[in-house]
Amino acid sequence: MRKMLTVAALLACVSFNPAHALDSGAAAPVVVTPVKTTATTSTGQPLTLPQNNVEVTASIYDIAPGATLPVHKHPFARYAYVLAGTLQVTNVDTGKSDVFKTGDFIVEMIDQWHQGSNIGLDPVKLLVIDQIEAGAKATVLRQ
């Protein structure tokens, strides 16, 4: 009975508190704060993943103030966490733009032409994670 009450209390804490601690016995607990949960891209597309030979790549992007990336698209899911700065991402076919700031998590559009611009005064720093089929390109530039 005591074990059931302990489990119930733990579940209650995790279920109702978006930021919760994982006490590993260390001097300070580890705090887990959910950033984003979604099944769609920033433009509302359902997420699809590579079906064969999946490869994950993580990269850091540094984008100078005023810089604009070339028009490009991603054939597979790409995720970006904004570590610093302000990034505007524009779908070049629709003209719709979204602005992402420090702490935002981006689920990028798949197979849609877009470009990113640093619209702030500080550099943009992104942690970018790609899931692609081995040997495929994560980014296709518009010619």
- Residue 127's Cα: distance from chain center in Å? 8
d(CA 13, CA 4): 14
Is pLDDT of 11 > 80? no
Q: Where are the domains of the chain?
A: 2-32, 54-141
pLDDT on residue 21:
58
Tell me the pLDDT band of 20, cut-offs 50, 70 and 90: low
Question: Which CA distances in Å does 27 have to 10, 20, 23?
Answer: 20, 16, 9
Look at residue 16 in the predicted model and tell me its pLDDT: 40
pLDDT at 38 over 70: yes
Give 54-74 pLDDT, tens digit per residue: 999 999 999 999 999 999 999
CATH H-level superfamily of 54-141: Jelly Rolls (2.60.120.10)
What end-to-end distance do the CA atoms of the chain give, in Å? Answer: 67
Q: Which pLDDT value is given to residue 17?
A: 45
Q: Give per-residue pLDDT as tens, 74-122.
A: 999 999 999 999 999 999 999 999 999 999 999 999 999 999 999 999 9
Question: What is the average per-residue pLDDT within 24-52?
Answer: 85
Specify whether the CB–CB gap between 63 and 85 falls below 8 A: yes
Per-residue pLDDT, 26: 60
pLDDT at site 10 = 34
Q: Which pLDDT belongs to residue 126?
A: 98
What is the Cα–Cα distance from 11 to 142, expressed in whole angstroms? 49
